[in-house]
A = this chain, B = another copy of it.
Amino acid sequence: MSVRVSVVGASGYGGGELVRILTGHPEVEIVHLAADTHAGQPMDALFPNLKTFTGRRTEELDLSVLASDSDVVFLALPNGIAMDLVPPLLEAGAKVIDLGADFRLKKAEVYERWYKIPHRSASYLEEAVYGLPELNRAAVRGARLVANPGCYPTAALIALSPVLRHPAASRQGIVIDAKSGVSGAGRGLSLGTHFSEVNENVKPYNVGVHRHQPEMEQALAEAGAAVSVLFAPHLIPMTRGILATCYVRLQEPLAQEAAVDLYREAYDPEPFVRVLTDSLPETKATYGSNFCDVTVRVDLERGVAVALGALDNLGKGAATQAIQCMNLMFGRPETEGLLQPPLYP
C-alpha cells in the first residue's frame, strides 16, 4: 500500500526537489502540497520541469487536513516555523520529516543561541531522530519525527566519520572547509544569491560562526567522537553541489591504504556512499542524486589526513536523504525511488 505523503513548503527548492523525486517513487501518493505565499498556483507554474508530472496546485496550510490525509509530512520551511507544526501533526498521528533545523540540535539553549529564536517545542527535541541513515539507521527506522541533517553536515559527517573513529586521528583542531552551490541558500531573494554577485566569484562567509558548526559537533559527539570543529563555508558560482574538504591532524602514523580501508569498511555496505580509490570526489558526479562520494588522503610527513566528501546539496544534502529516511520509516526498501544515476556532464 502506498505511503500518503504531503509536502509543506512546496514552492522552495527543497520542496520542488521532494516533489520531483516523489513523483517517480513507485509507492508514494502525493496528497497535499502546501505553500502559503503561493497557495493556489499550479505546481508546474512554480517548477516548469514538473509539467505533465503533476497537475496539482499548492494549497494553504491546513494542519488537520494534512494530518488526517497523510502518513508522513515533509516540512521544507524557513527555520522557526516547523517547531509549531510538528506537535499537532505528530499528535494527530502523522509522521514528520523536517528538512529544516528546528529539531536537529538536542538542547534548546544551543538552538536559541545559534538561531536567535526561542524554541517553542523543546519537549520534542529528545524524540527527534537525526536523519543520517549512514550513522543512525536503526533510530530512523523507528522514528516518528526525523530531523533531516543540514547539507553541509551531511557531507562533512560522511567524510569525517571513518577516520575519526581511528585512534590516530586527533579530535582537536579539525577544520572543515566547504564549497557550496547557491541553491543551498534557498529560493528566497537576497543580494547574496543575485547572479551578478555570485558569478565569477568565490566568497567565504560565516567562518567559524555558521549554524551548521554546532550541528556537526553534536553529531560527531553522538557518534562517539567528541571533537571541536572549525567550519568555513564558501559560496561558489554553481547551482548544486557541496564539497567538504576536512583536515584532521594525526597524532600517530596512519598509512594511506589503511585510511582508505576505514572508508571501505564503513561504506561498502552503504547503497549511497561511494568510496573513491583512484580519484578525488567532485560534485558533478553526484548531480541530482542521493549519492555522496568520499575518500581520504594522508600526508604522513605533515601528519594530516584530508577527508573529502561530495554530494548534491538538494539531493543527499536535503530532499533525497529525507526520502531515504521515509523509506526506512515505512519499511520500504531503502533505495526505492532513489536509484537514478547522477547527471553528467
Binding site for B on A (CB under 8 A): 13, 16, 20, 23-24, 45, 47-53, 172-173, 175, 177, 179, 181-183, 187, 189-191, 193-205, 207-208, 228-230, 232, 234, 236-241, 243, 245, 247, 249, 271, 274, 276, 278-289, 291, 293, 297, 299, 301-304, 306, 308, 310, 339-345
Contacts and interface: CB of A to CB of B under 8 A. Distances in A.
Contact of A191 (B187, B282, B286): B187
Contacts of A282: 48, 201-204
B239 A238 contact: no
A292 to B, nearest CB: 12
B243 A202 contact: yes
A210 B280 CA distance: 14
A228 B236 CA distance: 28
Given A204-B308, A278-B45, A183 B345 contact: yes
Contact of A280 (B179, B205, B287, B293): B205
Which has the most chain B C-beta neighbours within 10 Å: A53, A199, A202, A208?
A202
Q: 8 tightest CB-CB pairs across the interface, nearest first?
A: A48-B285, A49-B344, A201-B284, A189-B189, A49-B342, A196-B345, A203-B282, A177-B177
A199 B196 CA distance: 11
A201 B283 contact: yes
Q: How often does this chain occur in the complex, in copies?
A: 4
A247 B245 contact: no
A181 B208 CA distance: 25
B345 A202 contact: no
B204 A345 contact: no
A179 B144 CA distance: 41
Nearest to A24: B340
A249 B228 CA distance: 13
A236 B179 CA distance: 9
Given A194-B195, A195-B193, A306-B208, A200 B299 contact: no
B203 A199 contact: no
A173 B247 CA distance: 10
A95 B236 CA distance: 40
Nearest to A343: B288
Given A189-B194, A288-B288, 18 more contacts: A13-B196, A16-B344, A20-B341, A20-B343, A23-B341, A24-B340, A49-B343, A52-B271, A53-B341, A173-B304, A177-B245, A181-B200, A183-B345, A197-B284, A197-B345, A200-B283, A207-B245, A343-B343
A341 B24 contact: yes
